[in-house]
Structure formats: C-alpha cells, structure tokens
Amino acid sequence: MVEYKLEVPACSVLSMQQTSRGVDVVVKSQSMVGHCPTCGTETQRIHSYYERQVLDLPLGTLAVWLRIRVKRFRCLESTCKRRTFAETIPKLTERYSRYTKRLAEVIWHVGQIIGGRPGSRLAHKLQIPVSRHRILRLLRRLYTAVTKPVRILGIDDWARKRGQTYGTILVDLEDHRFVDLLPNRDAETVANWLQHHPTIEVVARDRSTEYANGIASGAPQAQQIADRWHLLKNLTEMAQRALREAWTQVGAAQPAPDAQRSPLPRASGDETARQLSCERRLKQYGVIQQLKHKGYGQRRIARLLGLSRGTVRRFYNADEFPERKTVSRSSQLDAYLDYLNTQMSTRKVTAKQLWREIIEQGYTGSYSQVSRWVTGFNRQQPRTRIALPTGRLPGRDTCLQLLIAKPESLTDDELYLLGVLRRIPVLDQLYTLVQDFVCMIRQRDV
C-alpha cells in the first residue's frame, strides 16, 4: 500500500487534526536564517515565535488550514531602524497573504474564467471560503505576474456607461485572456499603449477608423485584420440595406404556387406521456435489477427507492423489462363512430356540433370524449400547406432573419417559408450571396 502524506513547501509538518472548520495542519519553517527586509542583513538571532494561519488547497470536502509557527528575528545591524522582523516563506505564501501560493493560483484561475460573484459561489462549493471582493483584488494584483509578451492582440470597445462613456479592452487572442483596459477609444491612447509592446504582430479590430489610425501609428509592423464577428455583423447590415432597397421589387413579385406539402409528424400529448412513463419505468427496472445482483432483498429495495412492494416484486422477478399491454376497452362512443367518421370526412364540422347531433341520437357521454376523438382524427389527416397569397409576405425583419440564418437551424415551417421567399428572383440572389459569404467566413473556404 502506498502512503500519501501532506507536503508543505519549505516547511515540516508537526501535526494534523480534524476540526469543525476542516483540517488544521501545524507546520514550521525549516529555515533558521532570516534576512532583514530593510537593510538585508542576515541573522540567526531569534526574538520570539508567533502563529500565522493561511488557507491551503482543500482535502476532499474539507478545508485545510495551515497553522505556521513563524520566527521573529532580531536585526543585528546597529544602523538599521528595524529592530525585529518576521520571517517570510516565499515558496509557501506571500507576506500578509491569507492563502498559500498554490491556492491563490487556483482562485485566480476561477476568477479569470467566471468572474467575482459566480467565482465566489463556486469556490465555496469547493471548500475555499473566499469573497467576490477578494477574488477581484487577487485578479488586479496577480494578472501582471502571469502576463507574457502579446503576439496576437484583439481590440474592441466596452461601455463604462452605455451610450455615453466608452473605453478600450485589449485581449490576448492566443491565450484568450484579458490584457489591459484603456480609458477611451482615442487613436493617441491606443498608439501610446502599442508603442510599449513591440512584440505585437497581428491586431484584430472592428471597422473603427480611430483604432485603425492608432494601430498604424503605434504598431506599424502589425497586420490589421477584421475578426469574424464584426465581418458577420457588417454582412447583416449590408443585407438589411440591400433588402430595404429591393423591397419594392419584392412586394410586386408573384410567388409561384406551391405544391402540396408532405405531412408533418406531430406527437400527441398522450403519446409523449406514455413515452416518458415507459422511460421512467425502464430506469426503475434497471436499478432494481442492479440492486438484486448485489444481494438486496425486495423489502430493502422498496424502502431505498420509495416504491411499492408490488412494483418492486414485478420488476424483481422479471427476466426482461415487462412492457405494459395495450388494453382495448369499450366506450359509449363506439355506437356512433360510423356516423362521426362520415360527418368529419364529408363536411367541416366542430366537435361541439357533433356532440349535439349524437346527443339527439341517444348519446349520454360527455363532450370531452367527443373532443378527444375529433383531435385524434385530425392528427391522422395529412397536413397541407399552400403558398402565401400575393401581398401577404412576412415583414422585412423576418425575411432578413431567414436569409442570414443557418439552414440547419431552421424549423420545418421556417424552411417552407424560406422556399417561398426564394421563388422571388431578387431574394434568391441575395440569399445565395449571403450564404456564400457566411460559408467563406465560418468554414474558411475561399
């Protein structure tokens, strides 16, 4: 058997004890020499000891607190104003920090990915008690220590106060991390920042002329490119303009008549409920069979799963999943089915009218029974869809959404409507151009 023991950098573990707050680990520094932070003099003269507590990485579901026995040294330099100082353990934690370095790195990554408030909620689930304010302070203090020369930079604006005050955000597109924030969107501000970062080779930006001038002035060696999001945004704007200019031709066009549409499958509520019930019972059957193979009895399984003993007995003794048999029961409506089928096939009639007619013939059942039968009858009939009449085309915004959307993301009704629109030559040409451009951008297919 392999033994695992807790390793604390530059320290030796004295004891471990589980408490109400987690695990308390008492450690002491292995160094016997201190260096004065003021004059740098080395000393071994110990003045006193005190205990410092820092939070370390959690152990399973338990928080780990390090109780560090810290030495306080005397400074032997007569000219130094500092008489005593506490030792530091650079490999373990920073001065005045309440977290170890390895835990601070984990907290930094959590805050970098999901932010302060959600990061704090996630950290508490991981047994790391940290507030959102402390996460944000850690991000501000440590982000400069992990940055590296930026090669591919993304520039965009961000709103301090939407519609009034804007700044500039800079992002490293290789590591997908935030780099810096600038107070405004002026070309001079961007150029000054870029001059201090000569390693930049590529800059992705929007179509702002201020950013273009700032990049050309501050980083003339960098290649300027437009990112895909802004290209697709510009495509939408140009398609909207083209559609607005051609809307007169669209209104005057005559869509060709549409052929009968194939029926669309529609699942009834009863069928959906039966399917969900079957899936639930199949899952129960699998769990009961699994517990049976582990040696559990029927009573114990019923108590654990909260099921009746009859249900457990049926699944427990079955070699295969017992499907429910469909039972055909007689109904008060059976004597009137021929009349109902004839009326529904020959004329347009509502369920209420049919109910009143068969009541006169002696039917004593409820209206809801007739209504459910009519609903089922209508579901079995083929559904047809004819083309929209002239002048009843959808609005311009709806047409734009259909023309620029991915075909695989459209529903059956939207695809049908898109086919009606493409019978108009000007819209078919616009659709072809838009989809070709989108394919070129998203699939990088020139």
Per-residue pLDDT, 388: 46
Per-residue pLDDT, 21: 86
pTM over 0.85: no
Q: Which of 65-79, 125-139, 247-261, 403-417 has the weakest average pLDDT?
A: 247-261
**Greater model confidence, 415 or 51:** 51
Say whether pLDDT at 146 is over 80: no
Tell me the pLDDT band of 204, cut-offs 50, 70 and 90.
very high
Per-residue pLDDT, 263: 37
**pLDDT one-digit tens code per residue, 370-379:** 888 888 777 7
Mean pLDDT (whole number) for 429-437:
90
Say whether pLDDT at 272 is over 70: no
Tell me the pLDDT band of 443, cut-offs 50, 70 and 90.
confident
**pLDDT one-digit tens code per residue, 91-106:** 888 888 888 999 998 9
Per-residue pLDDT, 193: 92
Say whether pLDDT at 260 is over 50: no
Tell me the pLDDT band of 131, cut-offs 50, 70 and 90.
very high
Say whether pLDDT at 255 is over 60: no
- Average pLDDT of the chain is 82
Mean pLDDT (whole number) for 137-155:
77
Per-residue pLDDT, 1: 43
- Mind spelling out the 3-state secondary structure of the chain? CCCCCCCCCCEEEEEEEEECCEEEEEEEECCCCEECCCCCCEECCEEEEEEEEEEEEEECCEEEEEEEEEEEEECCCCCCCCCEEECCCCCCCCCCCCECHHHHHHHHHHHHHHCHHHHHHHHHHCCCCCCHHHHHHHHHHHHHHHCCCCCEEEEEEEEEECCCEEEEEEEECCCCEEEEEECCCCHHHHHHHHHCCCCCCEEEECCCHHHHHHHHHHCCCCEEEECHHHHHHHHHHHHHHHHHHCHHHHHHCCCCCCCCCCCCCCCCHHHHHHHHHHHHHHHHHHHHHHHHHCCCCHHHHHHHHCCCHHHHHHHHHCCCCCCCCCCCCCCCCHHHHHHHHHHHHHCCCCHHHHHHHHHHCCCCCCHHHHHHHHHHHHHCCCCCCCCCCCCCCCCHHHHHHHHHCCHHHCCHHHHHHHHHHCCCHHHHHHHHHHHHHHHHHHCCCC
**pLDDT one-digit tens code per residue, 296-329:** 889 888 888 888 888 888 888 888 888 766 555 6
Say whether pLDDT at 358 is over 70: yes
Say whether pLDDT at 341 is over 80: yes
Say whether pLDDT at 223 is over 90: yes
Per-residue pLDDT, 10: 82
Per-residue pLDDT, 244: 86
**pLDDT one-digit tens code per residue, 377-391:** 777 766 544 444 444
